[in-house]
Structure 1
Amino acid sequence: MNPWRLRLLSQLDTLGTVRAVAQAANLSPSSVSQQLAVLETETRTQLLERSGRRVRLTSAGLILARRARAILDHMDSVEAELRGFGEEPVGLVRLGAFQSAIHTMAVPAVTRLAAVHPHLDVELLQLEPHESLPALRGGDVDIIITTTDFDELPLGPDLDLVPLATDPVVLVVPPEHPVATRGVVDLAAYADEPWSFDIPQSYMANLAQRLCRQAGFEPRVVCRFSNYMMALQHVEAGLSITLLPGLAVGDRYRVTTRELATPITRSITAAIRRGAPARAAVHVVLDALRHPSDLPLPPSDKITRDQPGSGDRTAPARDEDG
């Protein structure tokens, strides 16, 4: 269906006569009638019927005319949103992300954006999935990095999603642990080990407990930490083993990771509110999260990357998401 013809049909419903539609569209009445006839052919439906010397909409025509209004309004909003991509990004964008995504995804993107768009300000907030979704829906943030696997607060049709990455869940053990020399691991073999868990009811705590129970045992939890740095230090000291997302395991820690025999991955996505006003600043941050390597490195980045410990991927902050 041609949008222009749909607009003519919608105007006929509003203005009442073909002559009025012709005047509004700067066309002749015969041209309007011809275009509406073509629309009838396209839809294979009778949209108009004669009533004396005038034409009026049939029931099907009336339904299509009013649906057309919504379709055309949506097209206008999409066009406005696409035009926003070409504007200069300025102003504040609030980006919420869970702990392991901050230093691995958000910080690199924001650092490179600062070198390209000096009038763009990005405020980073650590928000776990159970916090970030309500914050986004409530307008407290503009973009979030979350996971589609957080069942407690499902992503709905009110959000637009931009896939970013997949992240495996791995077993983390001290480097001298017997598992360190193996390939993939079966959790059932570690039923008697001391376990480090995230805080209760968090994403990672719930996932780790579920995986252990599926393997046939109740884990012996000897400690619970609200951030990955402490959990990794505990494992490094040989006091426990743990399950963590791969993004959380920084290079500075002397630990070994092993893939699970039954692979578990989480899907990481960026999300924005559907129908929010189109802003070039929001779109450029989304693009930077999707393709961080497309942005130039800032002058100081090479120095930072060459320093010892620059491979650390763990943020020393509160975590509840996994």
Structure 2
Amino acid sequence: MLNPWRLRLLTRLDTLGTIRAVAQASNLSASSVSQQLAVLEAETHTALLERTGRHVRLTPAGVILARRARAILDHMDTVEAELRGLGEEPAGLVRLGAFQSAVHTLAVPAATRLGAAHPDLHVEVLQLEPHESMPALRGGDADLIITTTDFVEQPLDPDVDLVPLATDPIVAVLPPDHPATRRGAADLATFADEAWAFDMPQSYMATLTLRLCRQAGFEPRVVCRFSNYMLALQHVEAGLSIALLPGLAVDPRYRVATRELVSPVTRTITAAVRRGSPRRAAVQVVLDALRQNPDLPHLGGDE
């Protein structure tokens, strides 16, 4: 009999690529992961892994089982939720991944509304940036994600269904007394000598900001990096830097000025769910709540 936990480890290996990465994601040692995958091979009487030195990769049989395992695990979640709610009410756990600026503006409001309407439904909100959320969805660590299709460094997965939610402009964020606040739209070339606040390397906004600055003809002088937009807003508010941020990330509690870009840049905010198995009622109701989006009418409505 196949063990769901070991199947989950196999799907994570298919997504993450290395035993070490699977171990970190599962809070296990690498040797424990290897041992459990070896047990799975014994259970299936099939070679699932091909070992070359310290590296492993899935055999064709391993790839097939990993892909089928996602559907198996999704179906088990569906059955469990149906038994808990007797099929009458969305029930069970839905893990919703969202990038930082969407957590409090999209994910938490949706979870709050659903908690009041469906007491047997539990929405667990996970902060996952675009480069993290798609692997988490594919590996079964998230049931539904809010991401952006504009992050070209993270290719879209053909096994995922996309549901557009809204658009969000990228804006220049300036100290309130910055000279550029007396002008109109921001021309990035005029900020070549400024100190810049950046997101962490490889993140969506760090990659995008670097690309836009280089397109404007300069290499930005990065004086700080924050994984938290609130810290970046504090730094800009203090007059220590400027930044490019998504409009959703600009909290009105901070005394900063924003300007749209001369060449407008927007990101498409998108929900994503795995395809290939019947969608759980609980996942569908969370997706519907995100699409309705009554808290952010200025960003767009239902698709």
Query: Does 2:98 correspond to 1:97?
Result: yes
Aligned to 1:242: 243
* Structure 1 residues 302-313: aligned runs within 5 Å: none
Query: Does 2:124 correspond to 1:123?
Result: yes
- TM-score, normalised relative to structure 2: 0.67
* Structure 1 residues 53-64: aligned runs within 5 Å: none
> The residue matched to 1:293 in structure 2 has which SS?
coil
Deviation at 1:181, TM superposition (A): 2.1
Deviation at 1:276, TM superposition (A): 3.0
* 1:170–1:243 contact (8 Å) kept in structure 2: yes
> The residue matched to 2:94 in structure 1 has which SS?
strand
Which letter maps to 2:226? F
* Structure 1 residues 288-299: aligned runs within 5 Å: 288-293=289-294
Go from structure 1 to structure 2 and tell me whether the alpha carbon gap of 1:280 and 1:87 turns closer, same or farther (over 3 Å shift).
farther
> The residue matched to 2:146 in structure 1 has which SS?
strand
Deviation at 1:227, TM superposition (A): 1.1
Aligned to 2:259: 258
Query: Does 2:149 correspond to 1:148?
Result: yes
Q: In structure 2, what is the Cα distance between the partners aligned to 1:190 and 1:254?
A: 20
Give runs of ≥4 in structure 1 deviating > 3 Å: none
Q: In structure 2, what is the Cα distance between the partners aligned to 1:276 and 1:99?
A: 29
Deviation at 1:199, TM superposition (A): 1.4
Aligned to 1:190: 191
> The residue matched to 1:196 in structure 2 has which SS?
strand
Higher CA-based Rg: 1
* 2:99–2:130 contact (8 Å) kept in structure 1: yes
Aligned to 2:224: 223
Which letter maps to 1:222? V
Q: In structure 1, what is the Cα distance between the partners aligned to 2:223 and 2:211?
A: 17
* 1:170–1:259 contact (8 Å) kept in structure 2: yes
Q: In structure 1, what is the Cα distance between the partners aligned to 2:256 and 2:88?
A: 46
Name stretches of at least 5 consecutive residues in structure 1 with no aligned partner: 1-79, 295-322
- TM-score, normalised relative to structure 1: 0.63
Compute the RMSD of aligned alpha carbons.
Answer: 1.8
Which letter maps to 2:215? Q
Q: In structure 1, what is the Cα distance between the partners aligned to 2:154 and 2:217?
A: 28
Which letter maps to 1:211? L
Aligned to 1:45: none
1:115-147 residue CA offsets vs partner (Å, 9 max, x unmatched): 111111000101111111111111111000000
1:239-273 residue CA offsets vs partner (Å, 9 max, x unmatched): 00010011000011000000000000111100000
Deviation at 1:200, TM superposition (A): 1.6
Which letter maps to 2:272? A
Deviation at 1:87, TM superposition (A): 4.9
* Structure 1 residues 108-119: aligned runs within 5 Å: 108-119=109-120
Q: In structure 1, what is the Cα distance between the partners aligned to 2:88 and 2:190?
A: 56
1:167-206 residue CA offsets vs partner (Å, 9 max, x unmatched): 1110000111111122211111111111111112211111
> The residue matched to 2:96 in structure 1 has which SS?
strand
> The residue matched to 1:252 in structure 2 has which SS?
coil
> The residue matched to 1:290 in structure 2 has which SS?
helix
Which letter maps to 1:266? R
Query: Does 2:271 correspond to 1:283?
Result: no
Q: In structure 1, what is the Cα distance between the partners aligned to 2:266 and 2:176?
A: 23
Deviation at 1:98, TM superposition (A): 0.5
Which letter maps to 2:199? D
* Structure 1 residues 73-92: aligned runs within 5 Å: 87-92=88-93
Which letter maps to 2:175? P
Aligned to 1:300: none
> The residue matched to 2:294 in structure 1 has which SS?
helix
Q: In structure 1, what is the Cα distance between the partners aligned to 2:261 and 2:294?
A: 30
1:270-320 residue CA offsets vs partner (Å, 9 max, x unmatched): 0000013321110000000010339xxxxxxxxxxxxxxxxxxxxxxxxxx
Which letter maps to 2:290? L
Q: In structure 1, what is the Cα distance between the partners aligned to 2:294 and 2:130?
A: 26
* 1:204–1:244 contact (8 Å) kept in structure 2: yes
* 2:146–2:271 contact (8 Å) kept in structure 1: yes
* Structure 1 residues 3-82: aligned runs within 5 Å: none
Which letter maps to 1:93? V
* 2:198–2:222 contact (8 Å) kept in structure 1: yes
Aligned to 1:170: 171
* 2:130–2:203 contact (8 Å) kept in structure 1: no
Q: In structure 1, what is the Cα distance between the partners aligned to 2:93 and 2:277?
A: 15
